[in-house]
Structure 1
Amino acid sequence: MTVRLLRSAGPACVTILLVLAVWISVTAFGLVPDYVIPAPLAVLDSLVSTWPGRLGSATLLTATETVVGVMLGVFVALFVVIVSGFVPTIGQAMTPLLVASQAIPVIVIGPLLTISLGYGMAPKVIVVALLCFFPVALNLLAGVRAVDTRLIDTLRSLHATRGSLFWRVRLPSAAPRGFAGLRVSVTFAPVAAVFAEYTGSTNGLGYLMLQAIPRLQTDFVFAQVLVLTVMSSLLLASVTLLERLICPWNTPAGKRNPS
């Protein structure tokens, strides 16, 4: 177990250590100004000193917007897929619209939502939900349609209903694809919330960045980027764990022991 963990996590840890070593060397020898790339200790000091006041509350707000937005996007995607599963015509009609909608940057919608909904959480939640909705919905719809037709024909010969085929075969078969889309979505969801806060907010990481960047408080900006990185990593780990719980057959152990 320990050897396997070292093999999987070792390369990533070595890469992080190398990047950190280069970062320390560049700042220690003064190769770049502090307002461009601050020293790691300065970033850590900024993180610790501002967390009890501004940074902690801003992180909580941005994290709340992100989690609620992800949950809303997944809920709407599941609703669309379930309706499409029982009424295939709806799914066929919506697929071109979903694909075409990808040409519209979700971030551009942020200012319009701020104008119509104000400076509260609602515009940020909707932006994150839109970002998560499309990848999850498209992957689930593709997975529902990619089920082996021979399996479907066999179950129909055994008088399986459309509902049982969807709940017991199509949706479980599409779940791994849905989680693949969700993993991509949650990685960018905190950044989407920050960009939505750029368009108008009174708190949050995006609001703090807008204040810190003109003042050249680079160490504070780096501290916020570090917080966003940790937030994305935690979301990704949570989705991976949830996938293992819901789709155990799609794990390496499940594939080796399909019974």
Structure 2
Amino acid sequence: MTTPVIAGRTGRRVWRTLWPPLLLAVALIAGWQLVGQFAIRDAQVLPTPWQVVSAGWQVRGDLWHNALPTLEETAAGFGLSFVLSWLIATAMDFSDAARRAVYPLLVASQTIPVVAIAPLFVVIFGFHLLPKVLLVALATFFPLTASLAEGFATADGDAMRLLRSMGASRWQSFAKVRVPGALPFFFTGLRVSITYAIGGAVFAEYAGAEDGLGIYMQQMQSVFRRDLVFATILVIALVSVLLFASTYLLERLVTPWRRFETRRGSAQDRT
């Protein structure tokens, strides 16, 4: 099969995946435009999409200036969450006692509302980067840890026994069987967590910060610039979508064998 044919099939598959959400998004934006322009007719109540985009473009420098600290908080907090999730999930996989001790605490940590605990973190750790990083990590590490632990638990038992019979150590079996087997579960949790990351940073900024998208949104709300409030929300949504989409690219790079499994499964279904 030639490369142009493969590229054509890939393009058609991507288009089939993208056109339904794009069509729905266009319909929703068009409806918003019509309601704002002909029904509400008051930009202080509901600015139209065109007014939102126009206002955001005019203050793009301010939006970029405030987006940088929010992205820094998100990256640092998510990095901490990533490291903690692998450490905790690995400890839970190696020790049943650790699983029984830690898992209830993981679940309990998710019952704590970020909005309620954010001011406490600011009082304890100050207005600098640390409380935002901790809040982002708190908001994101549970899906990562739970998905990894589930992935480790569903590893191929026959492959594990085969490696152990050949003299492989527990760590070697873990690295060669359990980690690759857990990666699809991990990326599912990653996609859930990444959508919480920006929101966690914005909530943290609400509690106390010098700049950031959360602070900028509060400032625009206080001066009744609804168009810039919506523009800030649009920036947050676009960044979240880009981060979410990047997880698929990362998954393709880290787990190339999954493409062959998918193609083989599709070929078997056709036969």
Q: What is the CA-CA distance between 1:5 and the residue it aligns to?
A: 2.7
How do 1:10-25 residues align onto structure 2 when only pairs under 5 Å count?
10-25=19-34
Q: What is the CA-CA distance between 1:183 and the residue it aligns to?
A: 0.5
1:43 pairs with 33, 45, 52, which one? 52
How do 1:13-162 residues align onto structure 2 when only pairs under 5 Å count?
13-52=22-61, 54-162=62-170
Q: Distance in 2 between matches of 1:202 and 1:143?
A: 40
Q: Is the 8 A contact 1:70 1:189 kept in 2?
A: yes
Q: Which ranges of structure 1 fall in alignment gaps of 5 or more residues?
A: none
In structure 2, the partner of 1:207 is: 215
Q: What is the CA-CA distance between 1:134 and the residue it aligns to?
A: 0.9
Letter in 1 for 2:82: V
Q: Distance in 2 between matches of 1:246 and 1:107?
A: 35
Q: What is the CA-CA distance between 1:158 and the residue it aligns to?
A: 2.1
Q: Distance in 1 between matches of 2:182 and 2:151?
A: 4
Secondary structure of 1:171's counterpart equals helix
Letter in 2 for 1:246: V
In structure 2, the partner of 1:227 is: 235
- TM-score, with length taken from structure 2: 0.88
* Larger deviation, residues 102-111 vs 193-202: 102-111
Q: Is the 8 A contact 2:156 2:181 kept in 1?
A: no
Secondary structure of 1:17's counterpart equals helix
The yes-or-no answer on 1:163 pairing with 2:147 is no
Q: Is the 8 A contact 1:248 1:254 kept in 2?
A: no
Q: Distance in 1 between matches of 2:169 and 2:81?
A: 29
Q: Distance in 2 between matches of 1:85 and 1:255?
A: 28
Q: Is the 8 A contact 1:107 1:127 kept in 2?
A: no
In structure 1, the partner of 2:3 is: none
* Larger deviation, residues 34-43 vs 90-99: 90-99
Q: Distance in 2 between matches of 1:247 and 1:107?
A: 36
Q: Distance in 2 between matches of 1:144 and 1:21?
A: 46
Aligned residues: 256
Q: What is the CA-CA distance between 1:6 and the residue it aligns to?
A: 2.4
1:15-55, CA deviations, whole angstroms, 9 ceiling, x for partnerless residues? Answer: 11111211121122143521121022211121111112x21
* Larger deviation, residues 177-186 vs 103-112: 103-112
Q: Distance in 2 between matches of 1:250 and 1:69?
A: 29
Q: Distance in 2 between matches of 1:83 and 1:39?
A: 51
* Larger deviation, residues 70-79 vs 28-37: 28-37
Q: Is the 8 A contact 1:61 1:204 kept in 2?
A: yes
1:33-92, CA deviations, whole angstroms, 9 ceiling, x for partnerless residues? Answer: 21121022211121111112x211101111111111111100111122233344443233
Q: Distance in 2 between matches of 1:21 and 1:239?
A: 29
- TM-score, with length taken from structure 1: 0.92
In structure 2, the partner of 1:256 is: 263
How do 1:165-180 residues align onto structure 2 when only pairs under 5 Å count?
165-180=173-188
Letter in 2 for 1:25: L
Q: Distance in 2 between matches of 1:188 and 1:86?
A: 28
Q: Is the 8 A contact 1:132 1:185 kept in 2?
A: yes
The yes-or-no answer on 1:239 pairing with 2:244 is no
Secondary structure of 2:67's counterpart equals helix
Q: Distance in 1 between matches of 2:127 and 2:256?
A: 42
